[in-house]
Every structure is written in structure tokens, then in C-alpha cells.
Amino acid sequence: MKSPFKKLFNNLSFLPFGFAQDKLRQESHSFLTIFSFILFSVSIFSQEKKHPDSYRDTTKIKKLEEVIVKAVRVSATSPITHSNISKKELSKRNLGQDIPILMNFLPSVVTTSDAGAGVGYTGIRVRGVSAQSTNITINGIPYNDAESLGTFWVDLPDFASSVENLQLQRGVGSSTNGAGAFGASLNLLTDAISEKANGEISNSFGSFNTRKHTLKFSTGKLNNSTERSRSIEIAGRFSRIKSDGYIDRATSDLNSYFLQASYVDDNTLIKGLVFGGHEITYQAWNGVSQGQIDTFGRTYNPSGEYTDENGITQFYDNEVDNYKQDHYQLHWNERFNNHWSTNIGLNYTYGRGFFEQYKENQNFDDYDFSEIVIGGETINTTDLIRRRWLDNDFYVVNANATYKKDDLNIIFGGSYSNYKGDHFGEVIWVQFAGNSEIRDRYYDSKSDKTDFSLFAKTTYKINDNISLFGDIQLRLVDYKTNGLTSDRKLINVDESYSFFNPKAGITYTLNTFNHLYFSYARANREPNRTDFENGNPKPERLNDFELGWRLRKNKLQFSANIYYMKYQDQLILTGEIDDVGSPIRENSGKSYRLGIEVDAAIQLSNKFSLRPNITLSSNKNIDFISSIDGVFVNLGNTNISFSPTIVAANQLQFNPTTQLQISLLSKYVGEQYLGNVDSDFSKLEAYFVNDISVNYEIKTKSIFKSIIITGLINNIFNKKYISNGYYFTYDDTFTNPGTITTIEGAGYYPQATTNFLVGVSLKF
């Protein structure tokens, strides 16, 4: 732990560790039941009967825990388009795959996996918007990397096992902490306080030698005083995941931990939390060309490939990404009376690691080596092994207060964060060393970023039919970096941004079952480090309009909304990737995303339920200009890259008994372009994939409370599909001297054919 935060924790050493978590409870018990039904299978949802005193005690805790998330979450009747997933629903398919894969069947969501099977590096897009433009928070603390703006779920393997619930807001959503939401925001809440001591041992195994081992425990509420309901709880989790991956050598060796301690009484909840992970994954971010697929097969992985002295193709055995990340969080919630409550959150994140590569025929100049002469021959190229490091520290302070009285609800607060990053490269082996030394740094750069925001949100119920929502945010960002990039090019950035993000909405209640809503939100977002490395980017701006209808009646829940997202200088994906697999972006001038999302939950009978959703959209760059054959051409309105016009999903659930659930999970993603020039060469074909999941719970009266058997068969029809790729062009001046010809290229990330996972959880 770095000294500033260590000192802070020493000063707060009298507080019990732990971390606040919310098991999201809406304004009434019925709303909670409805939401569980809407989001996934009502037929298995049940409420355990409790002694009245116990129920009141639990309710007090949950209300205190709500304070942590109210600043970044929205309620059931809010004019913000959103979806929720509970812990129970996450657990049904939590067999080792990352959180993006577990969210695959939500509206407008498209997911992908570098290794092809959902373990290791995974990605998610919402409404076609990339991960760099999706805001992620864990208990209100920003999780996006402050500099790249991306989210690396591989750094927190099996984190789903410690998530109580999550909320995905599509569009700009409400104000949140950290980098602004520019298409979606995802808020995760970690495990809630457990009333009773419990434990869980989970093991799963499957295709590609995939296995997950998880141990969880909770002491339950200790020293529980009936006079003041004062108690503490200690809980934790330890996980190990390993997989060979569907793609050749795309192995994953993942470890993670989660520890929390909680103190609670009638008006106070204090939680401290320590969690983190260590991932070692063999690189698969280079993708594969169509020619390589045709020649070597769709599992071919070019990463680590080199030619030995005998001209034989080899693969370097340690072409890996090796990264550790530790998070320290402290939350203090206080309820002063029936109207006022507050929350203070502190965070320190320490990340460090590298990726290692074997590189052939590297020029000495690229590593600041001096030429050497051997036997009269001048040598200025060499084979070598290099490591590119990132060492970073991230500090966050959040504070907010909530006032609620009658029909008025106000939340206001602020967030401050500071990021310090050290980027450097080392050469750990050289065939022809010359004047180099082991671990020579051939590039080095320092980064410093501060992010300060203030916000205020108000919900006011005018009458039984009309509710107003207002939200304003002021965000100040300062970013500095200088030194050399990994290509040994100078980078010198000193930029400050001031963003004002207003939001407003109205909800109209037609009757008990029907609600209409309309909202407007403005968002601004700064460029990331890679954007600066590739040019002189502008901040992007967005005006988001949402019009929706929610129907909640008996056995039918239905939601529909129309969205219009109008962009200025949107940083769209060009389709290209850099040498570490990161997407390259550029400002596109004017662009828009227009679509309709429909989501339903239908209880067909006591045994069958249906959960379909579909998104139809048009995603366009306006008057897009591109260089073709050396000439800049206005291509008119073109499709935005990675933005399919159709995304649909369905969950058909069958419950033959209360203990057994069988689900058919279907996902359709329409064709999409990997670039922005509407080239047929860059088109990614549509795909339709079906999975089957099975959950069976055995209640016992012996050592274990229950035994849960879970099975998942992915891609049951053995579809050979590709969910992601990249597209690039370059000017060819050699084939026909005197002319310039634009040459196109593409790479792909094939996904696994039929594969399975099966697990057993022992709960006690």
C-alpha cells in the first residue's frame, strides 16, 4: 500500500474493515418482486418468511446500504433506460466466464472474447458504443482505467461471485463518478451483509480444460445486540480459474480474492473492503487473418510466432500478459433521521504488471542500441525479448448526502480522483546485446490525471401522475503525460477540460400498470492516452434523447423506448488496433445513433416463462471523409463501425419443479462493419447462437444446506461465428509506380464452437 493511503488508514484504524453493499430494494416489496421478474425468470423468485423483528432489522440495513448506490443508480420509475441483474440470476451461469459474458442477454449488448470461450480478455459494447465510452463503477467507485478509459475484467477474475446485483443504464444515464458515460454505465454492488454464518464451496469444469474453484464464507452478524441492533460481520472469497482457451495457446491463469468486514447499528453502516486479482494470460489480442484461418484453421494464434535459426516456425512460450491489481475501499453511511443520510467512500487501487514479447529482427535505433561490429560485419538488427510495464496508483474520495421528505428526493455530492501512471519498457534478453544491459529501459513516460466533479439530482412528484427528474454535473479534468511512447515517439500532453452535463426527465403514470417517460441528457468526455498518441483529438459531445413506455401487469412486463443520440466529434473506432490490441479511435465530426429497444417478460404458464428483447437501430457518420487511393473523398453518410442494426436475445425458461430450471438462451447479432467506409471487405457477418443452461438444487438436512448443480452448453448448434475483428487500410505505392492504391486488410476473433461447463456448489 502506498504511503498516503496507508497513513489515512492508520488514522482510521479504530474503524472496522468491510465494504458497503446493497441488495437493491426498491420503494416497496412489490417493486422488488416485479424487477426480479422483469429481468429474469419470476417463476423461481420467492421471498423467505421472516419474524417481524428480524424483517425490520434487515430492512434498516438495506436502507443504509442503499445510500452507497443512490448517487449513481436510478429507481424503477426513473426516466432513465436501465436493466438490473440480481445475484441469484448471475449465479445461474457463473461458471468462470467474465461479467460481460454473463450480461450477454441484456438489451443492446454485444460481447466478445479474445480466447473465444469467455475466460481471459473479454469485451462488451452497448448500443454499439465501445468499452472506452462505458462508465463502470464498483460500489460507486470508478473502475475504468483513468488513462485508457477502458475496463479490464480479466484483472478481477470471478468477481461475479462477489456481486450482489448490478444496474446497466443505457444512453447517458444519470450522473456518475469517474469518466462520463458516453453510451452506457454499469454499476456493480458487492456482497451484502449476511444475517447468518454461511459458507460455500464451488467447483466447475468444462471444455478447453477450463476449471474454476471458489471458496466463500461469512461469519454472519456477530455480537448482535437486540437493544441497538449493533453487530459486525466478516466475509470473504478466494477464487482460482484456469483455462487453455479455444484459441491456440490462449491460456488463462487467474487468481482473485475478496475480503470485507462490516459494522452496523440502527443508524450507522461502515464497510471496509479489500479485493484484487492476478492474471497471467497468453496473448491472443492480435486476432487472425482470413488467410491464416484458411491455412491453419480458425483456432490459429499468431502471437509469439518466430523463426528459429533453422528456419522452423516456433512460438515463444511466455508471450503473456502478467498483471496484478489490488483495491482498498472504505465506506461510511450514516442515517441522521428519516430525512437525511450521508455516505463517504474512499478508494486506493494499486496496479502493476507487464506483457512480454519475443520480437524478431528489431532495429537497434528502436531501442536506443548502438551498432556493433563482429568479424568486420556491422550488426544493427537483433532478436530480443521485451516487457512493457504499467505501474499505477489511483486514489478516490466520494461524498454525497440524501434528503427525502414526502414527494421530494434530493441527492448531492462530489467525487475527486487522482491517477499516477508509469509506462516503461524493458529489454530482458538480446541476441546481439552490444552496449545494452539487462532490463534496459528503452522508453519511459509519466502520467498524472485528476478528475473532480460535483453533482445534484432531484426527483419531485408533482401529483399521482407526474414526477420530474433533474440532474446537473460539473466535471473538471486535468491530464498530463510526457516522455516517450512505446514507439519511442515524444508524447507531451497538458490538457484541462471543463464539462457541464445537465439532465432532465419526466415520468407520467397513466395508471397502475402504465408509465411513460422522456429524458434529455448531455455528456462530454475527454480523449484517452491512445487518442493522443495517434493525433490531436478533441473531446466528444453527446445529446441523448430517450422516450419510453413501461407496462407492468399480471403476467406481462413490457418496456419499449426510442433513443436518439446526437454526437459532435464522437471518438469512433476506426477499426484498426495498435500493437497491443487496443482499438484506435478518431473524431468523426457529426454522427448519430437512432434506435428502438423492446424488452419483455412473459409468464406463459406456471412452468414456462419467456424473456425476449430486440434493438433496431441506425448508426451513422454524417458526411464522412476518408482517404481512398490517395484522395480524400466525402463518402456521405456511412455506418458507424461495430454498430449492428439488429441485436436480439431471448430466454425461454422451463421449471418442471421448484428445484429444477432449464433455459434456452438465444442471441442474434446482425451484420456490422469493422470500419467506417462501408467497405464489403470490412463487413462482419451476422450470427445466431443458442445456449442451454440447467440449474438443479438439492435441499439437504445434513452438513450442507443445499447442493446446486449447474450446467451450461454454449453454442449448441456448433455455429462457427466471429464476434469481433479489426479493419485497416494502407497506401500501396510500389505495385504501380506513380499511383497510389488503397489496400484493405482485416483480422478476426473466432469464437468457440460447441463447448460446455458444469459445476457443483455446496452451501452450508
5 located within any domain: no
Least confident stretch, 182-196, 261-275, 432-446: 432-446
Question: In the predicted model, is pLDDT for residue 245 greater than 50?
Answer: yes
> How far is 262 from 17, CA to CA, in rounded Å?
6
378 located within any domain: yes
Q: What is the pTM of this model?
A: 0.88
Which three-class secondary structure state does DSSP give residue 545?
Answer: strand
Enumerate residues 6+ apart whose C-beta is below 8 A from 34.
Answer: 76, 552, 557
Which three-class secondary structure state does DSSP give residue 49?
Answer: coil
CA dist 320 to 279, 281, 400, 469, 536, Å? 10, 5, 41, 48, 31
> How far is 258 from 216, CA to CA, in rounded Å?
9
> How far is 101 from 111, CA to CA, in rounded Å?
6
Per-residue model confidence (pLDDT) at position 502:
95
Enumerate residues 6+ apart whose C-beta is below 8 A from 727.
Answer: 574, 575, 576, 641, 673, 674, 675, 679, 681, 682, 744, 745, 746
Q: What number is the average pLDDT over the span 530-550?
A: 94
pLDDT in tens, 689-699: 999 999 999 99
Least confident stretch, 184-188, 478-482, 630-634, 726-730: 630-634
7 located within any domain: no
Percent of the chain as helix, strand, coil, to the nearest 5: 10, 55, 35
The amino acid that residue 688 corresponds to is F
Q: What number is the average pLDDT over the span 589-604?
A: 96
38 located within any domain: yes
Residue 178 and residue 417 in contact, taking contact as beta carbons nearer than 8 Å: yes
Least confident stretch, 235-244, 430-439, 507-516: 430-439
> How far is 483 from 668, CA to CA, in rounded Å?
45
pLDDT in tens, 612-649: 999 999 999 999 988 787 788 889 999 999 999 999 99
The amino acid that residue 570 corresponds to is Q
Q: Is 243 exposed, middle or buried (0-12, 13-18, 19+ CB in 10 A)?
A: buried
Q: What number is the average pLDDT over the span 729-747?
A: 80
Q: At 740, is the pLDDT very low, low, confident or very high (cuts 50, 70, 90)?
A: confident
For CA atoms 544, 549, 554, 557, the dihedral sign is negative
pLDDT in tens, 455-509: 999 999 999 999 999 999 999 999 999 999 998 999 999 999 999 999 999 999 9
6 located within any domain: no
Q: At 76, is the pLDDT very low, low, confident or very high (cuts 50, 70, 90)?
A: confident
Domain count within the chain:
1
> How far is 380 from 365, CA to CA, in rounded Å?
8
Print the domain residue range for 468.
14-763
4 located within any domain: no
Per-residue model confidence (pLDDT) at position 59:
57
- DSSP H or E run through 278: strand 268-282
Question: In the predicted model, is pLDDT for residue 406 greater than 80?
Answer: yes
Share of the chain above pLDDT 90, in %: 73
Could you list the beta-strand ranges (E) of 655-740: 660-669, 672-673, 683-684, 687-699, 706-714, 722-732
What CATH number is given to the structural domain containing 365? 2.40.170.20
Maximum Cα–Cα distance across the chain: 92
Question: In the predicted model, is pLDDT for residue 74 greater than 90?
Answer: no
> With b meaning 16 or more CB within 10 Å and e meaning fewer, what string describes 725-764?
bbbbbeeeeeeeeeeeebeeebbbbbbbbebbbebebbbe
Per-residue model confidence (pLDDT) at position 545:
97
Q: How many CB atoms lie within 10 A of CB 47?
A: 9
Q: Quote the radius of gyration of the chain (alpha carbons, Å).
A: 26
Torsion of CA 329, 335, 340, 343, to 10 degrees: 0
Per-residue model confidence (pLDDT) at position 28:
36
pLDDT in tens, 208-235: 999 999 999 999 999 765 556 789 999 9
Mean of the per-residue pLDDT values for the chain?
A: 88
Residue 248 and residue 752 in contact, taking contact as beta carbons nearer than 8 Å: no
pLDDT in tens, 10-64: 433 333 333 333 333 333 333 333 233 333 333 323 333 334 444 445 556 566 6
Per-residue model confidence (pLDDT) at position 20:
33
Tell me the backbone φ, ψ of residue 55, rounded to 5 degrees. -65, -40
745 located within any domain: yes
Per-residue model confidence (pLDDT) at position 186:
92
Residue 174 and residue 503 in contact, taking contact as beta carbons nearer than 8 Å: yes
What one-character-per-residue DSSP string does 476-528 give? Answer: EEEEEEEEE-TTS-EEEEEEEEEEEEEEEEEEEE-SSSEEEEEEEEEEEE---
Per-residue model confidence (pLDDT) at position 721:
97
The larger pLDDT score, comparing residue 739 to residue 174, is at: 174
